[in-house]
Structures are given as C-alpha cells and as structure tokens.
C-alpha cells in the first residue's frame, strides 16, 4: 500500500522545518473519548499548501473529531499533528491566529448582518476602517445586500449560512476549515461560493480542508479527497484517480431503434439474451422505457460495447444511443465504505485495504513520498 502527497517548500520563522512542506501533517493520529473505544485509529495524511482537500465519510466516520483536533479544540490521544509547521500540542495559540473555521454554529443572532461582520472583525483585531471596507465587500460578494440591516435571527436558513461563511473571510488566514459550508443554499449561491473558494486557493494560496456529504461538490471543488469510515482512512488520492481505482462496474446505456420498443416481437428480450450468450459479464439493471435507455452493468464495458455492436449487426437492429456512464465520486464513496471493503479488510495500521493502492497524487507541489505498510 502507498500513501503519497505532493511537496512544496513552505517555511516561516518559528516553524518546525520537518513539517515545512505541508499545511497539515498528520502522523498516526488516534483518539478516544473514554480511553477504551477509538473513534479515530492510526490515521496519517498530509495536505499541501494551496490545496483544496476533501474529508469525506458516512456519519460516525470520525470526520468531526478529526476537525476538532486539527482546529485545536481537543488534544489527540495519540499521534503527531503539525498545522502550518506548528506543533498542535505546543503551539495552539499560534495555529489559531492563522486559521479560519466555518462550522454549523450560529452567528450572533442579536446583531444585524453588518454588525455581525463588524463584531467578528473586531474580535480579530482588525481596525475599524478596514472592517467597514471588508464588510461592504463581503455583503456584496455573498448576496446579502437586501438583508444587511436585518438581525441574523430573522434570516432564512440559507441567508444565515451565507453569513457564517462570509464572516470568516473578514480576517486573513492561511488555512480554512469548512464543515458543510453550502448546507441550505440554492444551486446558484452554492456554485458562487464554491467558485469563490477555488479562486481563493488558486490566486491567494489559501489552503482549504472541506467536509461535505454532497459528493458532487467535492468532485467539483477538491484537488484530493480522503474517505474515512469507522475512524480509519479507506482511500486517499485525486478524485479522478480514485474513480479509476474504485470505479468497479460501469453502466452502459443503450437505446435500440424506437420501433423496436413498440414492436410486439420481444426484440429487446432477444437482444439481451443473445448478448448474455456472447458476453457473460452482463447484467441488465434497468429495462428501457419510452424516455429512458436500457442500462447494462459490467466490469468490462469495452467488451460489452463490442458485443452490443456485434449482436445488433447480427440481428439487424439499429442502435440509436450507446454510452458508457463515467464513474462518479459517489461510486467511489460507496465502494470505499462498503461493508465488504471497510472494517474487515483494514490493515492493522488502520489505513486502507492492502489490496488497494492509495496512490501517488498529481496535485500541485510536485512529486511524492511514499510510506509502505
């Protein structure tokens, strides 16, 4: 098994030179709340500077505890953690000065949107003139102009969430932790915020650790993702590489000539029967309708496509539509945390399945270093 991460040079005065390559460096992290059961078990990974890193997993996977540790809210039971080169156990105050955190907590309900931003900036020690300037920019950026003078208590759920994300940008930071930042947002505002995060990472070098249950968001936003389950790391790589590794079966969509569907002769049935004779690895997961294609699943889509074309020619049936659906991050997620591939097959070190390569990623920052288990 290999776990690899890109490297960048990153060094500021007072930081540990051994961790200067990464914004986050985690080594053998474990945590137990009661001293008996570990909710995180021997997790190790690194996050590059300027990278958008997704931390995914089902409920109870250990994501929330991991975030609490990385944001200095709790101390880990075991393991070593470096944040921006600082030791988590020794340099909590230095870390907190350089990170931002957007969680599920509420804003200051008694204050207006404008006052919320001003108060939050005041707590960060930002001068009044600069606070005012940034507040105006953020209100516009997050589409809060019409409610700028309303109390947070009176805002809709989506407006409150926008305010929670906006206020974190009132101050400067090197590393931003986002916990479900787009919950309750409409599609347009969700995309607007995701694009803003991308811009902050690409143009300003902001490092972002992002948790979400919306896998389409993670696919769109993240450079790399880590998938946790039952406190252990199951997969880690770029989204595209994970799709190739965990893709499993592929879905082949096929539509035969429209006259075939309406024919009294069961041509589709005959077609599928012949297809199974030619290509054993075929399962029809969805029958065709007037508006939807038939869906065939197989681990060898290239062979199935050849067989479909061959059978169609043999039976003189016209193919109107033939498509192999690309694997999604949801396919990866389900495969990575499936019961047959999680706790039973996790190595004694608590990382990913021995049969699976958590491969070298091609993230910004260059080559990688590997740790073999």
Answer yes or no: do 221 and 290 share one domain.
no
Terminal alpha carbon distance of the chain: 6
Q: What are all long-range contacts of 353-359, with beta carbons under 8 Å and residues at least 24 apart?
A: 353/1, 353/234, 354/1, 356/1, 356/235, 356/245, 356/246, 357/1, 357/2, 357/245, 358/1, 358/2, 358/3, 358/4, 358/233, 358/235, 358/236, 358/237, 359/2, 359/4, 359/237, 359/241, 359/245
Does residue 177 contact residue 104 with C-beta atoms inside 8 Å? no
Answer yes or no: do 188 and 316 share one domain.
no
Task: Look up the CATH number of the domain holding residue 94.
Answer: 3.40.50.300
> How do the pLDDT tens digits run along the chain, 373 residues long?
333 343 332 233 344 444 468 999 999 999 999 999 999 999 999 999 999 999 999 988 999 999 999 999 999 999 999 999 999 999 999 999 999 999 876 667 889 999 999 999 999 999 999 999 999 999 999 999 999 999 999 999 899 999 999 999 999 999 999 988 888 888 999 999 999 999 999 999 999 999 988 888 999 999 999 999 999 999 999 988 888 777 667 788 888 876 555 555 577 788 888 888 887 677 776 677 766 788 887 778 888 899 999 988 988 888 888 998 877 888 788 778 866 433 333 322 333 332 233 333 333 343 333 333 3
Answer yes or no: do 22 and 69 share one domain.
yes
Answer yes or no: do 88 and 38 share one domain.
yes
pTM of the model: 0.72
Give me Rg for the CA atoms of the chain: 25
How many domains does the chain fold into? 2
Answer yes or no: do 49 and 68 share one domain.
yes
Whether 164 maps to a domain, the answer reads no
Answer yes or no: do 321 and 225 share one domain.
no
Task: Look up the CATH number of the domain holding residue 308.
Answer: 3.30.70
Answer yes or no: do 178 and 288 share one domain.
no
Answer yes or no: do 211 and 294 share one domain.
no
| The pair of three-digit structure tokens given for residue 156, joined into one six-digit string | 């809709």
SS3 assignment, position 234 = strand
Q: Which domain holds residue 216?
A: 4-98+173-245+333-360
Answer yes or no: do 178 and 315 share one domain.
no
Answer yes or no: do 319 and 198 share one domain.
no
Whether 151 maps to a domain, the answer reads no
Answer yes or no: do 93 and 184 share one domain.
yes
Answer yes or no: do 8 and 92 share one domain.
yes
């Amino acid at each position: 098994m290999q776990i690899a991460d890109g490297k960048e040079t990153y060094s500021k005065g007072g930081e540990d030179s051994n961790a200067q390559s990464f914004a986050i460096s985690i080594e053998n992290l474990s945590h137990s709340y009661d001293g008996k059961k570990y909710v995180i078990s021997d997790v190790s990974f690194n996050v590059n500077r300027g990278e958008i890193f997704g931390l995914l997993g089902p409920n109870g996977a250990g994501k929330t505890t991991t975030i609490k540790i990385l944001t200095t809210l709790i101390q880990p039971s075991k393991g070593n953690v470096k944040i921006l080169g600082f030791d988590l156990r020794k340099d909590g105050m230095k870390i907190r000065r350089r990170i931002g955190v957007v969680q599920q907590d509420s804003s200051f309900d008694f204050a207006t949107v404008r006052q919320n931003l001003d108060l939050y900036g005041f707590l960060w020690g930002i001068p009044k003139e600069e606070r005012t300037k940034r507040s105006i920019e953020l209100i516009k950026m997050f589409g809060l102009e019409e409610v700028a003078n309303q109390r947070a208590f009176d805002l809709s759920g989506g407006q409150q969430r926008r305010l929670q994300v906006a206020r974190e940008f009132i101050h400067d930071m090197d590393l931003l932790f986002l916990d479900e930042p787009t919950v309750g947002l409409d599609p347009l505002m969700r995309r607007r915020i995701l694009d803003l995060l991308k811009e902050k990472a690409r143009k300003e070098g902001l490092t972002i650790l992002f948790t979400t249950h919306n896998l389409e968001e993670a696919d769109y936003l993240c450079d790399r993702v880590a998938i946790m389950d039952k406190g252990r790391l199951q997969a880690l790589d770029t989204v595209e590489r994970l799709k190739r590794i965990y893709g499993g079966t592929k879905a082949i969509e096929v539509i035969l000539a429209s006259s075939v569907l309406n024919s009294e002769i069961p041509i589709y049935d005959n077609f599928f029967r012949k297809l199974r004779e030619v290509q054993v690895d075929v399962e029809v997961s969805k029958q065709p309708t007037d508006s939807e294609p038939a869906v065939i699943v197989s681990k060898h889509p290239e062979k199935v496509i050849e067989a479909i074309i061959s059978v169609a020619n043999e039976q003189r049936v016209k193919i109107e539509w033939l498509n192999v659906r690309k694997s999604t991050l949801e396919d990866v997620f389900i495969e990575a945390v499936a019961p047959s591939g999680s706790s039973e097959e996790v190595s004694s070190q608590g990382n990913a399945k021995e049969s699976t390569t958590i491969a070298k990623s091609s993230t910004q920052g260059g080559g990688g270093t590997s740790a073999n288990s």
